[in-house]
Amino acid sequence: MARKRPSENLVGVAVMAALRHPLTYRVPQELDVRAGHRVLVPLGKRRVVGIALEPVTRVAPGVELRDILRVLDPEPLLSPELLTLGLWIAEYYVAPIGEVFRAMLPLRAETRRVRLVKLTEAGRQKLKELEASLLEEARRGPEADLLRYLAGRPGSEPAGVPIESLRTRFSAFRDLVPQALEEGWIGVSEVERERGQRKTFSVRLAGPASDAGAPFAVGGPVPDRTGGRLSPVARRIVEILERVGPASDHRELLKSAHTSLATLRKLDRAGIIELNDSKTKLAQPTGQLEDGASRAETPSRGGVPSLELTSAQAAVFKELAQRLESHRFGVALLHGITASGKTEVYLRLIARCLERGRAALMLVPEIALTPAVESQFLARFGNQVAVLHSGLTERVRHEAWWEVRRGEAKVVLGTRSAIFAPVGDLGLVIVDEEHESSYKQEETPRYHGRDVAVVRARLAQALAVLGSATPSLESYANARQGKYHLATLKERIAGRPLAEVEIVDMREEFRQTHTNVPISRRLAAARRP
């Protein structure tokens, strides 16, 4: 029988491991742990990150409780709404609860344990003795090299040098470090660091590159801005930057150009490119509008005027806007044929939502669709838009997540995982092309983005709009049964005709041609100029 422990402060923690249920931990008096906090907890012989949940008042008898080691953030990262959503996903989809919350956090919200080596006072004294020795073997031996290396890097790491860097630098590492530790020359400590904090650089062209002069080669002489014919690698870098614009993360450019950071540094010193620390934010590649205005230059609201609505669009917008302004949960299925103007209705609803002081979230099924939609969103809503999808670099996703978390971005656009964006006061959730199978997550944790969007709208007392030209059977059935409101757009904008479709019987093709090919004679003829 479970028993209460009144003298102890206990809390459930969803550890980021393959466990179905949260574990109970004891909260030390010196820690302020609230629901939604990231915490560091012991799990077996490991230390893992978890999300603090609600307080626990009863535990099974004989259970040995362990203490939470540390709170990783000054404020909870996950709101009560997202915590409730995560618990629902874990139960409904039988998913590991910690993995669900991992999916809700930015990549850099995870930690790793790093062992740091630092020179002790005894080590400094030993180094002085070795350097004063008359024996060259002592002055140049591996012990002196190790101690000299640690002494020469006081500012690189306040807590010491990562032990892995010593492992790669010193061939005698296996014997050297244990000996130095036993003699007391060095001290070893462990720290938890956030993953993904490797230094990144933004890269942009410094100006037009010259083609005259001596060739450029990695490891060879570096050309200056007045001359120097570029090597194939350097020219490839320049061509990529000319074609796609500045790179916010140099690692993406390295992959595309099949080169190294050393090459970028040489081009930077040559004045061909500019390599800058990525701590300063760059606009996302798709953040440039057609007229050349940057994201920062766009007005905070309504930079581009709305299009004039057709009578059918106006009627649909009016009925959905009324439901939006009720501040009550509801689901509407917008069944509109291709090119009927669903996107403009979405934009009008988002604008109305912003006018009422609430935020909006829109999901699209594929990353490939995001740039086209994003350009429309940026033109209409400017720097209020944040984009979240896996095609962005880790740094850009991390920054966008925090913009939403801080309330700086009120409109979120993204693919399936964007449903977990930390949007406050959510008033509108739109799922475009709701019938698409890509809303189903195939990896752990498995979930259906459309259905999670409906549940999140219910938790936020928001309006969920599911749009499609070919609705899924379950959504259409819900609309026919009155569970969802059904809104329809049956005509294309400006009376444009639907694309003509001709059906070819491939079985008859085979009987006539005796060839089993996927292209019919009719299609082959239509493809000829």
pLDDT in tens, 177-190: 888 888 898 888 76
Q: Structure tokens of 256?
A: 């595309």
Q: What confidence score (pLDDT) does residue 415 get?
A: 94
Q: What confidence score (pLDDT) does residue 170 get?
A: 78
CA–CA gap between residue 300 and residue 258 (Å, rounded)? 39
- β pairing state of 426-432 and 273-277: unpaired
Q: Structure tokens of 139?
A: 């002055």
pLDDT band at 290; cut points 50, 70, 90: very low
For residue 233, is it within any domain? yes
Instruction: For the chain, give the mean pLDDT.
Output: 83
HEC-encoded secondary structure of 326-382: CCCCEEEEEEECCCCCHHHHHHHHHHHHHHCCCEEEEECCCHHHHHHHHHHHHHHHH
The DSSP letter of residue 215 is B
Q: What confidence score (pLDDT) does residue 281 get?
A: 37
Q: What is the CATH number of the domain that holds 491?
A: 3.40.50.300
Q: Are residues 155 and 222 in the same domain?
A: no
Could you read off the pLDDT of 73-99 as tens digits, one per residue? 889 999 999 999 999 999 999 999 999
Q: Are residues 269 and 301 in the same domain?
A: no
Counting other chains too, the contacts that 302-309 makes at CB distance below 8 Å and 24 or more residues apart are: 302/351, 302/380, 302/381, 302/382, 303/378, 303/379, 303/380, 303/381, 303/382, 304/379, 304/380, 306/344, 306/347, 306/348, 306/351, 306/380, 307/344, 309/341, 309/344, 309/345, 309/348
For residue 282, is it within any domain? no
* Percent of the chain that is helix, strand, coil (3-state, to 5): 40, 20, 40
Q: What confidence score (pLDDT) does residue 324 get?
A: 97
Name the least confident of 267-271, 273-277, 298-302, 493-497: 298-302
Q: Is 243 exposed, middle or buried (0-12, 13-18, 19+ CB in 10 A)?
A: exposed
Give all strands (DSSP E) within 369-484, no chain letters: 385-388, 411-414, 426-432, 463-468
Q: Are residues 258 and 336 in the same domain?
A: no
The residue from 250, 277, 304 where one domain ends is 277
Q: Are residues 42 and 60 in the same domain?
A: yes
Closest CA to 85 of 477, 474, 438, 417: 417
Percentage of the chain lying above the pLDDT 70 cut: 84
CA–CA gap between residue 488 and residue 342 (Å, rounded)? 10
Q: Are residues 442 and 386 in the same domain?
A: yes
For residue 122, is it within any domain? yes
Are 383 and 404 contacting, i.e. CB atoms less than 8 angstroms apart? no
CA–CA gap between residue 340 and residue 496 (Å, rounded)? 9
Q: Are residues 402 and 336 in the same domain?
A: yes
Name the least confident of 229-243, 299-313, 497-511: 299-313
Q: Is 226 exposed, middle or buried (0-12, 13-18, 19+ CB in 10 A)?
A: exposed
Name the least confident of 22-36, 99-113, 455-469: 99-113
Does pLDDT of 22 surpass 80? Answer: yes
Query: What average pLDDT does range 299-315 have in this prediction?
Result: 74
Could you read off the pLDDT of 382-432 as tens digits, one per residue? 989 999 988 787 778 888 999 999 999 999 999 999 999 999 999 999 999
Q: What confidence score (pLDDT) does residue 25 get?
A: 97
Q: Are residues 247 and 322 in the same domain?
A: no
Are 83 and 36 contacting, i.e. CB atoms less than 8 angstroms apart? yes
Are 116 and 189 contacting, i.e. CB atoms less than 8 angstroms apart? yes
Q: Are residues 330 and 408 in the same domain?
A: yes
Does pLDDT of 475 surpass 90? Answer: yes
Q: Which domain holds residue 251?
A: 201-277
Other beta carbons within 10 Å of 303: 17
pLDDT band at 294; cut points 50, 70, 90: very low
Q: Are residues 424 and 316 in the same domain?
A: yes
Closest CA to 104 of 445, 455, 450: 445
Specify the number of domains making up the chain: 5
For residue 236, is it within any domain? yes
Candidate ranges 32-36, 365-369, 509-513; pick with highest mean pLDDT: 32-36
Does pLDDT of 303 surpass 70? Answer: no
Does pLDDT of 276 surpass 90? Answer: no
pLDDT band at 300; cut points 50, 70, 90: very low
Query: What average pLDDT does range 499-518 have in this prediction?
Result: 86
Could you read off the pLDDT of 146-164 as tens digits, one per residue? 888 888 754 444 567 888 7
Residue type, 253: L
Query: What average pLDDT does range 329-339 have in this prediction?
Result: 95
CA–CA gap between residue 15 and residue 268 (Å, rounded)? 44
Of 132 and 350, the one with more pLDDT: 350
Does pLDDT of 248 surpass 50? Answer: yes
For residue 148, is it within any domain? yes
Q: What confidence score (pLDDT) does residue 220 get?
A: 43
Q: Structure tokens of 179?
A: 């000996």
The DSSP letter of residue 216 is P
For residue 151, is it within any domain? yes
Q: Are residues 306 and 443 in the same domain?
A: yes
The residue from 94, 110, 126 where one domain ends is 110
- Give the position of tokens 């008042």: 57
Alpha carbon 69 to chain centroid distance? 27
Candidate ranges 138-147, 197-206, 225-234, 487-496; pick with highest mean pLDDT: 487-496
Q: Are residues 125 and 155 in the same domain?
A: yes
Q: What confidence score (pLDDT) does residue 217 get?
A: 40
CA–CA gap between residue 27 and residue 38 (Å, rounded)? 13
Percentage of the chain lying above the pLDDT 90 cut: 44
Q: What confidence score (pLDDT) does residue 298 get?
A: 37
pLDDT band at 191; cut points 50, 70, 90: low
- β pairing state of 111-119 and 161-162: antiparallel
Of 281 and 511, the one with more pLDDT: 511
Q: Structure tokens of 425?
A: 């006061």
Q: Structure tokens of 161?
A: 């040098």
Q: Are residues 220 and 305 in the same domain?
A: no
Could you read off the pLDDT of 92-119 as tens digits, one per residue? 999 999 999 999 988 655 666 677 888 8
Closest CA to 346 of 189, 252, 445, 465: 465
Distances (CA, A) of 304 to 236, 268, 317: 37, 38, 19
The residue from 277, 307, 333 where one domain ends is 277
Q: What confidence score (pLDDT) does residue 289 get?
A: 32
Query: What average pLDDT does range 516-521 have in this prediction?
Result: 84
